[in-house]
Amino acid sequence: MALGGGTFLVQNKVLPGAYINFVSRPRAMGSLGERGVVCLAMEMDWGKSGMMTVEAEEFRTETKALFGYPYTHEKMKDLREVFLHAKKAKVYRLNGGTQANVTNENLTITAQYGGTRGNDISIAIVPNVDEAGSFDVHTYLDTELVDSQTAATIEELKENAYVTFSGQGELHATAALYLTGGTTTTVTGNSYTAFLEAAEAEDFNVLAYKGSDIVTKKLFVNFTKRMREEEGVKFVTVLHDYAAADHEGVISVGTAAELVPWTAGATAGAEVNESLTNALYDGEYEVEAKLKKSQYIKGIQAGQFLFYEESGEIRVLRDINTFTSFEQKKNSDFSGNRVVRVLDSIANDVAGIFSRYYLGKQNNNTNGRNLLKAEILAYHEQLQSIEAIENFTAEDIRVEKGTEKQDVVVYENVQPVDAMEKLYMKVEVI
């Protein structure tokens, strides 16, 4: 065998042999962060307490198990609106409740979750025609069969998405056993405080609240400002009719509260190079979207996200947020949601690149800072390639040593691209 071998840090080996280091050719490790995640709270009479993450496809196929109702049910309408354009939702159940249950002899059946929906569950136990001494145990939600299994004893029964089984001994045939006693608790202001505390630990693009309570709206706005400005977590919040927020991180839907879920989903699903201006509303709600021209002008000036109707279609008037206090250092560009999406993506993605690949891993010397600069440059080149920014050059990024030995300071110039919205044409007739 070879006497020496392995890898090396410096050329100080004693034994003869081959010492080989395998390294990757330098390439950009950071990439554009994926968008499409909405975080919202709901009053529900079924479902687990707290926050749950639901993928779009999971919502379409597992609606009953997750939320207690079929996909087409009226109670699922807001989530259908969200998932028209969102890829994922962080859904928080605001209320809990008492679990429905039923006991028959030595068998107790308990609903998986608290809430009144558990009262719509029933169980039927019938002899299995092929196996003597075994029984088919059917679980129904309303009149729909949602689970079926075969067992001879209670111990053999397995919980399903709707109920758990407990007890000991043999099973016995019985007519339908209806669960009762399920209750749903009332939502309070503290419920939304708990929701925002849970949301602080989640990653998402858009936070949504469609309610009308002013105190709760202020709670959401204050949370948004704190997270964006003090914690550096960039997301936007969609509310109904709250342009008073006057902040680039808050969108105020001024047309109708029913359009908040769709706006949240569409905003989350919009890419950094995409504007929702003139986007078609493809949801289910029938809303009034006809205002006078003067009302639309006032609404835009106030920072309202409005819809308009034309040729029987409802479309977004302008993709704007509530920021209206323009000044020299922060002009009207910040009122455009596409611009904010670009800036938020830069903040979130560059922070992610730094924390994953550089924090505590690279030396804070010229070589280390040059590596970081190359990484940030490559990321911005991605943005420019999809026309999210323009006129970007290497000179627009400077990475320097900060005050302390461990500090790195990045200076950046960036020009976000927005979509065309106004046409001014001069026609000269000769």
State mean pLDDT over 71-78.
97
| pTM, entire model | 0.88
42-60 confidence digits (pLDDT tens): 999 999 999 999 999 999 9
Dig out the tokens for 294 from the structure: 């003067």
pLDDT at 400: 92
Cα 341 to Cα 347: distance, rounded to the nearest angstrom: 10
The yes-or-no verdict on residue 11 having pLDDT over 70 is no
Give just the sign of the alpha carbon dihedral 65, 67, 69, 70. negative
Q: Sorting pLDDT into bands at 50, 70 and 90, what band is 26?
A: very low
94-137 confidence digits (pLDDT tens): 998 999 999 999 999 999 999 999 999 999 999 998 888 899 99
Cα 332 to Cα 31: distance, rounded to the nearest angstrom: 28
DSSP 411: E
Cα 42 to Cα 9: distance, rounded to the nearest angstrom: 56
State how far the alpha carbon of 289 is from the alpha carbons of 251, 295, 314, 316, 339, in Å: 18, 11, 7, 10, 26
Decide: helix, strand or coil at residue 20: coil
CATH number of this structure's domain 1-43+189-430, picked from the four choices 3.10.450.690, 1.10.10.10, 1.10.4000.10, 3.10.180.10: 3.10.450.690
pLDDT at 73: 96
Cα 202 to Cα 231: distance, rounded to the nearest angstrom: 13
- Which amino acid is it at 283? G
Cα 92 to Cα 50: distance, rounded to the nearest angstrom: 5
Q: Residue 128, class by beta-carbon neighbours within 10 Å (0-12 exposed, 13-18 middle, 19+ buried)?
A: middle
The yes-or-no verdict on residue 393 having pLDDT over 90 is yes
317-327 confidence digits (pLDDT tens): 999 999 999 99
| Average of per-residue pLDDT values in the chain | 91
Higher pLDDT, 180 or 6: 180
Q: Sorting pLDDT into bands at 50, 70 and 90, what band is 424?
A: confident
State how far the alpha carbon of 191 is from the alpha carbons of 11, 47, 199, 252, 417, in Å: 63, 16, 12, 22, 40
Reply yes or no on domain 97-184 having CATH 2.60.40.4290: yes
Could you state, in order of their start, the residue ranges of all structural domains in the chain?
A: 1-43+189-430, 97-184
DSSP 120: G
Cα 172 to Cα 342: distance, rounded to the nearest angstrom: 63
The yes-or-no verdict on residue 2 having pLDDT over 50 is no
Of 23-37, 60-74, 266-280, 378-392, the range with the lowest mean pLDDT is 23-37
Q: Sorting pLDDT into bands at 50, 70 and 90, what band is 38?
A: very high
Give just the sign of the alpha carbon dihedral 218, 221, 226, 231. positive
Query: Which position has the token pair 């409740």?
Result: 97
298-311 confidence digits (pLDDT tens): 999 999 999 999 99
State how far the alpha carbon of 397 is from the alpha carbons of 245, 344, 376, 381, 393, in Å: 33, 17, 8, 12, 8
